[in-house]
Chain A
Amino acid sequence: MPCWPPLRAVLLALAVVSTCVGCAGKQSASGAIRIGMVTDVGGLGDRSFNDSAYAGLVRAKTDLHVDTTVLQSRSAADYQINMTVLANKEYDEIFAIGFLMARDVTEVAERYPQRHFSIIDAVVDQPNVTSVTFKEEEGSFLAGALAAMTTKTKTIAFLGGIDIPLLRKFEAGYAAGARQIDPSVKVLVKYVGSFEDVASGKELAGVQFSEGADIIYVAAGKAGLGAIDQVKERNGAFIIGVDSDQDAIAPGKILTSMVKRVDIGVFRVSGQAAARKPRPAHLTLGLKEGGVGLTDFRYTKSVVTPAKLAVLAKLRAAIIGGTLVAPSTREELASFKRIPL
């Protein structure tokens, strides 16, 4: 939301003032490194993206003995205010969780050149910002391959939150993985248009099932919870979860989850911060780095047979070895060619 500049100045000033009321001492009592995190509007409790980032922060707190704080954002207007609050409190590292905050990180990082920031899922070109991105297409490729090997109706589906480039990485990788296994498998694609509208997520999953899909890969934030609710009522159908390990939400109905280890990204950067070392400008986490991947199929072992696991292992090795490049856009998907295994 564009904000009238003088008003924004006042708001920021207020944020600064309220901050300084709260900070008797700017350093923590123990003198420990302090790491702050600002969630996006999805917020904690999404059992997905933000929760995964939070897990990394919790691990940093216990393993690295750093002090941590999380500020949640109720609306996009909170991003800059929350970051400014942490910057004013002289936090040693400030995480912005989500591409939605890219512009705000750029502005705040410019104003506070002596502070260091990290942004997840976006690239911000600033000397004091680490951009942490993931090769979602690689994990999604494996998810698509598994879905194509598992479907009985020769039809699988992708359900995204909002149709944006980030989500298309999931979509393209998934469709390519399915094509690698069996080009005759149909991939239905729909978007909810929201990451929060749980009911619409459920309804759209219902539409995709009725269109013949028996497996849906859902990358739709909280709206994805609706799709999981839908699959509970259907026999022989599966959801593939995303970001966090969602397998336990509906045991046996979630084939696997394409886990995006935002926690690893957060923990890695935190480790550098805790050691008071410089942070990299860009951290890209793919299959090779353990940044993305599938879960351990602990509830779906009967469906995910050793033969399928062997194929997945081969594909994984091919991606890590560089002989197979998972497409990350629809254009790359259009020109994607299967490779002989």
Chain B
Amino acid sequence: MNATLAAVMAILGLTLIKATPLIYAALGGVLSERAGVVNIGLEGILIAGAFTSVVVSGATGNPILGALAGVLAGMLLAAILAYVTTRLAVDQIVAGTGLNIAALAGAAFGLVLVYHQPGASHEVPALGRTGETVLVVLAFVAAGVLHLVLTRTPWGLHVRACGEDPSAADSAGIDALKTRFWAVVIGGAIASLGGVYLSLAELDLYSDGMTAGRGFIALAAVIFGRWTPLGATGAALFFGFFAALQFSLQRAGVPSELLQALPYLAALVALAGFAGRVRAPAADGVPYVRS
């Protein structure tokens, strides 16, 4: 009985670890999409946060400074996306995809520049267990705060208005382009913490490909969570749980490919179950051009 309890606790603990980077990325995605900008570039923002935080922590010896730099890098990347999608009205999917490619290649190139070796960085001073715990807790705090901001503050109302009908928002005196810009940038800051968590809290290095598609899982969590911070957090926990479950179910004799597909199958089933009941913000993904 005690062994069962221990196994359950282990899976729940691992669920939190697996879900945390997804929560940050999904929250960033929610804020961005509620303002009307689909952020396909979440993966790239995770990479930027993971890579920059490691480099700065290594250079300064201060992981807190590293984490801050990681957030700044995420904001910067998001600002590029925000600028081209608001001011230049570029197709959001194309811009976000470009962001992902640029971040992956930029980090790969950066490794050679900084560490004179491709593939992976050296080990750097990391945030450690305490930092990991703080970031896990902070993910849930961030979800609560974002929920309150979106539902209870004027700025949150502006953001949602821009996601539904930017033209109406504009005529009501809300600067739709500016609101969208800052929603994407702040979303980038939140999402980048997922990258910081991976490289500097859970681990102490950056390695090419280490984000392993988490930004895209987070996109699914945004939809599965019905574009709400609390829903997206729940979805991230759901994905995290199945990932943790498959880790613990894997054993000799059971096809591991099947188990590794479990989180994705669960997502498919869940999304199919929600079909028809979810509605994206009306102007989500539609570039707004002032006439």
Contact = CB atoms under 8 A, between A and B. Distances in A.
Interface of A: 42-47, 50, 72, 74, 163, 187-191, 193-194, 196-200, 202-204, 206-207, 210, 222, 225-226, 229
A191 B17 CA distance: 18
A222 B10 CA distance: 24
Closest 9 CB pairs of A and B: A45-B119, A196-B209, A197-B212, A193-B260, A189-B252, A191-B256, A190-B250, A45-B118, A44-B118
Nearest to B209: A196
B118 A198 contact: no
Interface in B201-229: 202-205, 207-210, 212
Interface in B187-213: 198, 202-205, 207-210, 212
A204 B247 contact: yes
B207 A203 contact: no
A74 B247 contact: no
B120 A225 contact: yes
Interface of B: 6, 10, 14, 17-18, 21, 105, 108, 111, 117-120, 198, 202-205, 207-210, 212, 243-244, 247-248, 250-252, 255-257, 260
A198 B207 contact: yes
B18 A203 contact: yes
Nearest to A45: B119
Nearest to B105: A74
Nearest to B260: A193
Contacts of B203: 198-199, 202, 225-226, 229
Q: Is the interface of A mostly helix, strand, loop or mixed?
A: mixed
Contact of A196 (B6, B17, B212, B255): B212
A45 B117 contact: yes
A198 B205 CA distance: 9
Given A199-B212, A222-B210, 19 more contacts: A42-B119, A45-B118, A163-B256, A190-B250, A191-B250, A193-B257, A196-B207, A196-B209, A198-B210, A199-B21, A199-B202, A203-B18, A203-B244, A203-B247, A222-B119, A225-B205, A226-B203, A229-B203, A229-B204
Contact of B257 (A163, A206, A229): A163
25 contacts: A44-B118, A45-B119, A45-B208, A72-B118, A163-B256, A163-B257, A188-B251, A188-B252, A190-B247, A190-B251, A191-B250, A193-B260, A196-B208, A196-B210, A197-B209, A198-B207, A198-B210, A199-B202, A199-B203, A199-B212, A200-B243, A203-B247, A222-B119, A226-B203, A229-B204
